[in-house]
A and B are shown apart, each in its own frame.
Chain A
Amino acid sequence: MKRRDFLKASVGGTVVALSGGSAIARPNLEPAPEAIGMLYDSTLCVGCKACVSKCKEVNGMPPTIRGEDVQYDSALDLSPQTLNVIKVYRDGKAEVKDSETNGFAFEKRSCMHCVDPGCVSACPVTALIRHEQTGIVTYDADACIGCRTCMTGCPYNVPQFDYNNPFGEIHKCQMCNQAGVERIDNGMITGCAEVCPTGATLFGSREALLEEARRRMALKPGESYMYPRGDVRDPISSHERAVPSYLQHIWGEKEAGGTNVLHISSIPFDKLGMPPLPDRSYASISETMQHSLYQYLALPALALGGLTYVIKRNVDDDEGGEK
């Protein structure tokens, strides 16, 4: 091959490869076979924050106290000391619960345990791991280098780095199953679901929770329904309540490949602070690019071969020629 042809071919190849021309598309990941999750029903939440308090107890984190008069945990948002927080949506006079106008609504922020997690995909050292069976996303501080790429890759801004500690680490909800806690492995349920008085946070398999969410969507507003507390399959107790008018949208069924923690509510999710997400996960697009360019290191090896050949020739030419 002539040098000029080689250059043309290699430039062309690079352009095709860089624009994702190679067909090694990586689709969204599928839910783990025994995916564990939670269902948060915003209409059931009364904003008591028992879940926030229990979460801190389980994870050994101090309550966030604002001002001397406030004697309860009043964390405003996720932080290295707050892995789960209840936030409030307010509009106008904020008089009616679960009303978009002149109303208010609660929303839970915690790790959504994505089916196709951006943090896991972006972490260079495998410090974030999606469990093969349960789909729970856990963190390994011994592997972590603190580059915080997981934070950039999380659509929900969940992983939190402790900047104020010179030996800080990432903190995130690990569904009460991290080493040393292992509530799920021991047959228990998550702390937040255990203490929730209304069943707004419900524990269970992703499948069972999706089923429960769909059942609620199908109910007529005003109808009476027995809401379970604790574990969806094995409730701690149940309570009867009139069905609110649900928004026909289960957050986490499809968003960016879906999540194991599902949310339902009666007001639109963007009002509750959920991000604008397409169905295809960003992780799958990013990995498609990485795999197209670096599968078996074939392209780099080919490029290196070509470059070595051309450069050797050019360097030899110079030595034999003018000098």
Chain B
Amino acid sequence: MSDYQPLERRVITFPFIVLGIIGLIGLYFLAHRFLFGIGSVTNLNEGYPWGIWVVYDIVVGTALACGGYALAITVYVLNKGKYHPLVRAALLASLLGYTMGGIGAFIDMGRWWQFYNVLLPWQMNFNAAMLEVALCVMAYIIVLFIEFSPVVLERFGARDLMKKLEKVLFIILAIGVLLPTMHQSSLGTMLIVMGYKVHPLWQSLHLQPLLALLTALTMGFSIVVFESSLSAVGFRRTPETPLMTGLSKAIVGLIALYLVIRFGELLFRGKLGLIFAGDLPSLMFIIETALFVFPLVVLLSEKGRKNARTLLYAAVAMLFAGSLYRFNAFLIMYNPGHGYSYFPSIPELMVTLGIVAIEIMIFLYVIKRFPVLHREEHA
């Protein structure tokens, strides 16, 4: 008998229908994009080649999908088996988040019908961080499907296949820790070649991969805390607060490390003054830093770590902090000069919202019909 069980609730609910409508609107504009070109839907231009499709769907979206990665490190590498009950839900969210990231990359790809060129060894450019990101994300999506497959096999009672899979699962798990480490840091490396276009407060050159990796990890741990607290509230399940307090210690350590490196870079390169310039970059930097410091302060106290409500606030702040860091570096504080500007169009926003809506719909369906969530008495 499995420790996991489907949440036997009605699938078609009011929120589900609303999400469905948003999803359909997104699909409508998506059809437009493929029939009439990217320009018919987005506000991308000569100076801004990347908008929210890349920056939200891929750069921020995959970081929000790092829950599976963060928990895999905790449970399998650091051997904290008590967190095992959280793994399946986190894996599902990662699987969906990364798949949507992959789809996002594909719809943004101007010459999508030649996408296979990334897989042809004689076309690959090993100097390019983008190649690394593309290959690792594709491979990781496959790994996530394999990691999640026991849930599906269990649902359909394929016991033999499950046993066979379990024997080799450790290799898949190891690859599943390695790949996000690689492509999440490479996402940061992609900022280096943009050079001066990225505002000095965000252009840390050699440190880009490390900062990207740290934000991916903090966001990964935070999304686990967030999803767990939310499903406790939304489905009136017993909160898994004791488990969360442990995870929040990891978040504290990671944020502290991140802030030391971030401010250290600014100090050594003499850029601290830019924080007080009183312009938009300095405002964005201050908001972003406040969002990092808030969870750090809250989770430093034992009281803060043990309270379900403060935990949720801290997790939300951290998710915004990491997302804003990436939005700033890739888009808001990206300035190509020559008077170019960008703000997403409504159809462009709707495509992203539609994708997210469909992602949430699939998540809700799967946890209600497949053994993903842990039985309450064990939690």
List A residues at the B interface (Cβ < 8 Å): 3, 7, 14-15, 18-20, 77-79, 118, 121-127, 141-149, 151-153, 155, 157, 160-170, 256, 273, 275-277, 282-283, 285-291, 293-294, 300, 303-304, 307-308, 310-312, 314-315, 317-318, 322
Taking the closest CB of chain A, its distance from the CB of B100, in whole angstroms, is 17
Please give me the 3 A-B residue pairs with the lowest Cβ-Cβ distance, nearest first: A146-B110, A163-B39, A146-B111
B178-211 vs A, CB cutoff 8 Å, 1 = contact: the mask equals: 1001100110011011111100000001111110
B79 — nearest CB in chain A belongs to which residue? Answer: A314
**Measured between alpha carbons, how far is A124 from B213 in the docked complex, in Å?**
21
CB neighbours (8 Å) of B193 from chain A are 118, 121-122, 152-153, 282-283, 286
C-alpha spacing A285/B188, complex, angstroms: 13
- How far is B142's CA from A208's CA once the two chains are assembled, in angstroms? 54
Q: How far is the CA of A144 from the CA of B116 in the complex (A)?
A: 10
Whether a CB of chain A sits under 8 angstroms from the CB of B21 is no
For the complex formed, measure the closest distance between the CB of B39 and the CB atoms of chain A, giving whole angstroms.
Answer: 3
**Interface contact A148-B110, CB-CB below 8 Å:** yes
- In the complex, the answer to whether B125 meets A315 with C-beta atoms within 8 Å is no
Chain B 102-115 interface 0/1 with A at a Cβ cutoff of 8 Å (1 = within): 00010011111011
B173-A311 in contact (CB<8A): yes
Query: B362 an interface residue at 8 Å Cβ cutoff?
Result: no
B37, B50, B170: the one contacting A308 at CB < 8 Å is: B170
Query: What A residues does B340 contact at CB under 8 A?
Result: 157
Q: Is the CB of B125 within 8 A of A311?
A: no
Taking a contact as CB atoms under 8 Å apart, the answer to whether A282 and B195 are in contact is yes
Please, could you name 6 A-B residue pairs with CB atoms under 8 Å apart, sorted by A? Answer: A20-B206, A122-B193, A143-B114, A152-B50, A163-B38, A166-B35
**How distant is the Cα of A155 from the Cα of B170 in the complex, in angstroms?**
45
Q: When the two chains form their complex, are residues A161 and B210 in contact, meaning their CB atoms are under 8 A apart?
A: no
- Judging by beta carbons under 8 Å apart, are B77 and A310 in contact? yes
A308 touches B197 (CB 8 A): no
The contact string, 1 if C-beta is below 8 Å from chain A, for chain B 72-88, is 00001111010000000
Partner of A273, one of B120, B128, B195, B338: B338
Say yes or no: A125 contacts B124, CB within 8 Å.
yes
Instruction: Pick the residue among A19, A144, A161, A308 that contacts B171 (CB under 8 A).
Output: A308
Q: Are A124 and B134 in contact (CB under 8 A)?
A: yes
Q: What residues of chain A lie closer than 8 Å to B117, measured between beta carbons?
A: 125, 127, 143-145
Cross-chain contact A145 with B169 (CB below 8 angstroms)? no
Contact residues in A for B189 (Cβ distance below 8 Å)? 286, 289-290
Asked whether A149 lies within 8 Å of B128 as measured between CB atoms, the reply is yes
Q: CB-CB < 8 A to B131: which residues of A?
A: 124-125
Q: B118 at the A/B interface (Cβ < 8 Å)?
A: yes
Contact residues in A for B109 (Cβ distance below 8 Å): 145-147
| CA–CA, A142 and B115, complex, Å | 11
| Cα distance A37–B209 in the bound complex, in angstroms | 35
User: Which residues from chain B contact A288 at a C-beta distance below 8 Å?
Assistant: 206
Interchain nearest-CB distance for B109 vs A (Å): 5
B214 nearest CB across to chain A (Å): 9
Contact check, A168 vs B46: say whether CB atoms are below 8 A apart. no
B49 near A124: Cβ-Cβ < 8 Å: no
B129 touches A286 (CB 8 A): yes
- Residues on A with C-beta less than 8 A from B124 are 124-126
Known interface pairs A77-B46, A152-B190, A290-B186; 13 further A-B residue pairs with C-beta atoms within 8 A, sorted by A's residue number: A123-B128, A124-B124, A125-B117, A143-B114, A153-B194, A155-B195, A161-B44, A290-B126, A300-B182, A307-B77, A308-B170, A314-B76, A314-B79
A157 and B46 in contact, given A126-B124, A147-B110, A289-B209 (Cβ under 8 angstroms): yes
With both beta carbons as reference points, the residue of chain B lying nearest to A87 in the complex is identified as B338
Bound-state Cα–Cα, A123 to B110, Å: 14
| B337 interface residue per 8 A CB criterion | yes
Question: Is B36 part of the binding interface, using a Cβ–Cβ cutoff of 8 Å?
Answer: yes
Q: For the complex, is B130 an interface residue (Cβ under 8 Å from A)?
A: yes
B28 part of interface (Cβ distance < 8 Å): no
Residue of B nearest to A153 (CB): B193
